[in-house]
């Protein structure tokens, strides 16, 4: 099982779609940097096809910096930098999408 990080905005559709297609059962997806823009309700449908046991996260500092904390889709759990490190430890490997 892997932690996937995505730092590209949803406008980079190729990167987002490649990342979403690579998610397997038990993986975690952490949106970081401009990747957190995908937590907006306008992009919520992109995550509808993801398996139920793939957990979704977004990095707090990047949500805060963009004013998205109150706007984000409820499926995303907010983690701080320590939570980022914890996710990397919990999963077997880290795959970075950029």
Partner 1 sequence: MKFSIIVQAAPYSCQSAETAYRFAKTLLDTGHDLHRVFFYGDGVHTGSAFASPPQDEPNIPANWQALAADHDLDLVVCIAAAVRRGVLDDTEAGRYSKSGSNLAAGFELSGLGQLADAIAQSDRVITFGA
Question: What are the residues binding partner 1 (CB under 8 A)?
Answer: 5, 7, 32-34, 61, 81-82, 84-85, 88-89, 93-94, 96, 98
Q: Which two tokens stand for residue 86?
A: 């914890």
Closer Cβ to partner 1, 61 or 78, answer by number: 61
Closer Cβ to partner 1, 34 or 44, answer by number: 34
Closer Cβ to partner 1, 9 or 44, answer by number: 9
Cα gap 39→76, rounded to integer Å: 7
Nearest to 48 by CA among 11, 73, 13: 73
Residue 79 beta carbon to partner 1: minimum distance, rounded to whole angstroms: 11
Residue 86 beta carbon to partner 1: minimum distance, rounded to whole angstroms: 8
Environment class of residue 16 by beta-carbon count within 10 Å: exposed (0-12), middle (13-18) or buried (19+)?
buried
């Amino acid at each position: 099982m892997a932690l996937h990080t995505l730092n590209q905005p949803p406008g980079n559709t190729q990167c987002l779609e490649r990342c979403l297609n690579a998610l397997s059962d038990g993986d975690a997806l952490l949106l970081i940097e401009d990747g957190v823009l995908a937590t907006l309700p306008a992009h919520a449908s992109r995550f509808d096809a993801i398996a139920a046991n793939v957990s979704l996260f977004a990095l707090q500092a990047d949500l805060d910096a963009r004013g998205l904390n109150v706007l984000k889709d409820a499926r995303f759990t907010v983690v701080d930098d320590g939570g980022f490190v914890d996710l990397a430890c919990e999963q077997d490997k880290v795959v970075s999408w950029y």
